[in-house]
Chains A and B, each alone.
Chain A
Amino acid sequence: MYFSSFSDISFSNIANAAKPTNYHLVFVAENSADEAQLVIDSFNSHNLKLFGGIFPTIFSDLQNYDTGFLILQIPPVEQVIRLSAKDDNFYDTNVDLDTVGTAILLTDGLMGETDSFLRKIYNFFGNQMNIVGGGAGFITLKQEPCIFTNEGIFQDGGVMALLKSQSQIGVKHGWEVFDGPFIATSTEKNIIKELNWRPAFEVYKEAIEGNSNYAFKEGNFFDIAKVFPFGIYKEGTEFVVRDPFILNEDSSITCISEIPENSMLQILTGNPNTLINAAKEVAEMTINPKTHSCLLIFDCITRVMYLNERFKDELEAMKTVFEPEGSKIRGVATLGEIASNGMGFVEFYNKTIVACSLNS
């Protein structure tokens, strides 16, 4: 349920409606971040359990809010674990992992070690459960405490809730090849230094300016780059999107997450229609006609920004799929999306919409 301000929240109603043992998933919109601690304190004083994060925006039904709170009842949670990115042996649980169907993972979206953190999660929790979630944080891209449990608000690492519920996960972005292929002949983690043995920006600029009306000027890199992300080839799925977001002085380009050296990249682009269509497809992948399910959407903040006015259409497109099934749209704009449908790695996506329906 959405609350526009802390004072609107009726904790006694929540307490009455909830089983005392179960957790609430709480999303806080960036502009209400100051009140996040009040929410946690109130949950504690009512003996209610919660976990959640602060995100640039939150959405409920067709509305996208930059203030307020979403307090969601979800199927029973077995355990909530606070995970540190720095500790190699962070995991010690008495929950039998074979019985876990789904894990909701909220990470600090601006921590530096997301890729290795997710690898660690994969190695610990294996590949027998669905993992879904996204990076929390602020649109200012300044790292601050943004994930929380009853114990307080943290930064670095993540919070993981283990649920017995099975789930369906949909992942899609709708971005398509604009130009390529290029070979990332020199990279260092999330920095592309060379494309096709030349300074990366030189090649990137040439490709975009040569095939569109966009022209790079001082200070407009991100404005253009949000329209032209990189895509890494992955057999049998869409390209894995990597968002370029900083142009460095040495003409290298810093992306949101890691680019393997010598990998083949495409420059992608999208138009609102393909993106919105992808959202619809995600909704269709996720829908489970058998059960009345709880629906969660992790949609990249760059899509929200790119679609701008038309973001409402993306929500609308999903709503058309979900509404006949009785599911409401609730979700957050994320700094990176996380999904693993029980096969292969826990992937960190950019510019992607990840949806999950939890069987109740």
Chain B
Amino acid sequence: METKLEIVRELSLLYELSLSIGGSLDLKKTSEDFLKVWMRQKNIDFGSIWIENKHLDLENPNQFSLIFAHPHFLVIDQTETLPDDFAETLMQQKAIQVCTEDTNFQYFKKEKNIKSGSYWFLEIPNLGFIKFFFYEKNPSQKSFNLRETKKTEKVLGKLSIALQSCLLHNKVITETEQKNKYQKEIKKLALVAEKTDNAIVITDSKGHIEWANDGFMRISGYSIEEAIGKKPGSMLQGPETNQETVAYIRNQIKEEKSFRAELLNYSKTGKKYWIEFSIQPIYDDNGLLINFIAVESDITDRKNKEVELNEAKEKAEESGRIKQEFLSVVSHEIRTPLNGIIGMSNLLQKTQLSPQQSDYLNTIQISSENLSLIINSILDFSKIESGLLNIQVIPFNLKKILQNIINSNEFKAEQKGLGLFLKLDPKIDSHLIGDGIRLSQVLLNLISNAIKFTISGKIELEIRLVSKMNNALVLEFIVEDTGKGIPDKMQKIIFESFTQEDSSLGRKYGGTGLGLSISQKLVSLMGGELKLTSQENVGTKVSFILGFPINQEPTSLPENSTVSDSVLIGKKILLVEDNTMNQFFAQKLLEGWGIKVDIANNGKEGVEMFGRKHYDCILMDIQMPEMDGIQATKIIRQVNKYIPIIALTALSVEEEADNFKSAGMNDFITKPFEAEYLKKKLIEYMLFFQSYSISSPKSKQTKTVQTYNNSLLTQMMKGNQVQIRQMEQLFVNQAEEVIKQMHQYFLLENWKEIGLLAHKLKASIDMLQITNLKQEIRKLESIEKNKTEKRVVDELIKNVTETLRNVCLLIKNSHK
């Protein structure tokens, strides 16, 4: 029998437990308040409250999650699964004790530091359970029994309700928060819908307007009241509304699809306006169509602009086309007479002229050559601009190109006292495939710019091997100078067409301002990018990287560049050309080289004449009456595969080059052509032809030792004979003067002055390729520095004097 005090104690426990419930709507706090009272009173070592996941809206609905544990540090796992039979027993018995010796003790032993003792599981009705633990040594363990738990059943019922209230409270709070959030968002959306510039229209499932925003009113002119209940189509469409679009819209709506369209509408006042709109069907939870939402924007301005833009575009295209046509015509129409002018003045130069006439003629030649250059630049540029310029993919010899570039600029550089160096990686293959002409054009332009803008120092052309594969290589081309540099702000602008760093530069240095722009575009067409780095007063570096396939079968043209002009003597050439002035010019030129020339007035005549007689080469105009050059070439090639046929054309040849080639032409020369260039080509092809020709005997190539050679000078003067003679005369004067002075200084043993004289003459000696003196003059130049013996100096001066006198004599004779 329990004593009164014991009963009071029990009542006190139940009282305290009851009061611990409901103090809070927080799930954890309620659990904590309840457990701590019980644990304190009953001296329980560990206690925890678990709720089934399905009540917590968590995954694994049959698992239990920990709500509260004391002391919490003992907890390892926050989830618990009760075996089915155990859960069932707990539901029936309300309380289960699991002691150390019980089989499932190990299963439930999930807290730290627990070895032996007893667990108690008490059901929290409809929610979960309480898990208590007593250590073996705990003296209170024994007094906790089924009778004890029976007393607390009702309190546990209350705890369950309290905890359920907490859960509900949480749910309500979460839902309210969610609802508030949604409402805020809805408000925001409503505000956006109302205030947006776009028109927003909501219709019912049949398309009758239910709601429209201010935007709709503003665009259509109809008030909301006027619009409600009506179909947008009936209100807004008019005579010019595209009926196909209307049909499309009806169809999409019928099929409940979301879509976009543009449509011409009419406002209330009858004003036409364009809208772009999207329509979205809206469904209820059961998937039933309830509304359509249309968002419309006024695109009238855009539509108008589109029309204007189209017109402008057409105009621009038309004017581009006209420009291209014009340039094409200009090309042909200017080049042909220019060819005549250049050719004729060249021929005129060979006649007896007074010095004054020679002077005038000289000016004509320079001017016409400059004009030719400018026209070529402009044509190139306009072709690039209009996308008509094609990059060739043909074999070329890189080394040759580079050497030519250096050769043709060496004199200019030397004149300005600048060093011009070529640095070519020896690992680079020379025989490549690509557009050698365009590459050469770019490099020439860059070098010529560099020379133009460099006052002292050097210019370096470097070709670096970036990478090499089996059959292709990537090269970096670098042109670096020690010139005045380009200010930062100008570095971008100078790539623009017709722009030079300073407009006064044009006057000072000449040029169209197209060079860099063309170079940049050519490089870009070849797949590279022109890069420029420059520092004012330090120098400029322009570089680009290009890839080229390696030509596996390089054409074995004779490399011997010292082949004498004599190879041309006695050769027979068929000139097929309809323009009499061109006929005359070319004939005189060719005859001047000892070539026998027959003339055909058109392709047809050309074919006939070729059939009758043997020729070593054919020069073929392209555009001719009766039969053009292409046609004629094709016919000739049917009977002779080897005879060199070189096209002479005033056309912009790049786009025609393929045609020429496929017709069977070996090469082409653009009119107006440089005499030297023509000569070079003729030598090249006729030698080449010789190795195939069976009818023409091989001429013996003799290498004559020349005391001097004016080919460099000729190249520099572009074949201008007047200038060449002037230059040669200058050299003679200079040389005679130097010889005289050297002898005077030798008597005075003034080595320094002799050195300076040698230096003065050095460039001219190199220019005239007086190879005998190449070393001698340099030795003389440095006699002071090397403290050369008098005897040696005497010897050197003697040699130099002798050779120079010979050269001067030869020059004088050639001028007679």
Contacts and interface: CB of A to CB of B under 8 A. Distances in A.
Contacts, number: 79
A118 to B, nearest CB: 12
Contact of B37 (A177, A183, A237, A260): A260
A124 B37 contact: no
A264 B9 CA distance: 7
Contact of A264 (B8, B44, B140): B8
Interface stretch (B11-19, B163-171, B460-468, B659-667): B11-19
Contacts of B42: 235
B816 interface: no
Given A181-B5, A181-B12, A127 B45 contact: yes
B71 A183 contact: no
A237 B143 CA distance: 12
B271 interface: no
| Chain B interface helix/strand/loop/mixed | helix
A235 B19 CA distance: 20
Interface in B1-27: 5, 8-9, 12-13, 15-16, 19-20
Given A123-B73, A127-B71, A343-B138, A235 B143 contact: yes
B15 A183 contact: yes
Contact of B15 (A233, A260, A262): A262
Contact of A237 (B5, B43, B73): B43
Contact of A126 (B16, B44, B73, B144): B73
A236 B43 contact: yes
Interface in B243-279: none
Contacts of A22: none
A29 B142 CA distance: 43
Interface string A142-181: 0000000000000000000000000000000000010001
A234 B44 CA distance: 10
Contact of A262 (B8, B16, B44, B74): B16
Contacts of A43: none
Contacts of B140: 234-237
A236 B138 contact: yes
B137 interface: yes
Given A233-B41, A237-B139, A343-B45, A124 B12 contact: no
Contacts of A343: 45, 135, 137-138
A344 B523 CA distance: 88
A177 B72 CA distance: 34
B43 A262 contact: no
Given A235-B140, A343-B138, A263 B16 contact: yes
Chain A interface category by residue count: 20 to 34
Contacts of A76: none
A183 B15 CA distance: 9
Contacts of A342: 135, 137
Nearest to B4: A181
B37 A262 contact: yes
A321 B73 CA distance: 39
A277 interface: no
Nearest to A341: B137
Contacts of A263: 12, 16, 37, 40-41
Contacts of A260: 16, 36-37, 40
B73 A236 contact: no
Interface in A115-148: 122-124, 126-128
A261 B16 CA distance: 8
Given A124-B73, A233-B41, A344 B16 contact: no
B45 A344 contact: yes
A177 to B, nearest CB: 8
Contacts of B787: none
A177 B8 CA distance: 14
A358 B9 CA distance: 36
Nearest to A265: B12
Interface in B42-75: 42-45, 71-74
Interface in A248-303: 260-264
B43 A123 contact: no
Given A123-B71, A264-B8, A235 B41 contact: yes
Nearest to A263: B16
Contacts of B43: 234-237, 344
A91 to B, nearest CB: 11
B112 interface: yes
A154 to B, nearest CB: 26
A233 B37 contact: no
B122 to A, nearest CB: 16
B19 A126 contact: no
Interface of A: 122-124, 126-128, 177, 181, 183, 232-237, 260-264, 341-344
- Those 7 A-B pairs whose CB atoms lie nearest each other, nearest first: A236-B140, A264-B12, A236-B139, A235-B140, A262-B16, A343-B135, A262-B19
Given A123-B71, A123-B72, A181-B5, 5 more contacts: A232-B40, A234-B41, A234-B140, A236-B140, A264-B16
30 contacts: A123-B73, A126-B71, A126-B73, A126-B112, A126-B113, A181-B8, A181-B12, A233-B41, A234-B41, A234-B43, A235-B42, A235-B43, A235-B144, A236-B138, A236-B142, A236-B143, A237-B140, A260-B16, A262-B15, A262-B19, A262-B20, A263-B16, A263-B40, A264-B8, A341-B137, A342-B135, A343-B135, A344-B44, A344-B45, A344-B135
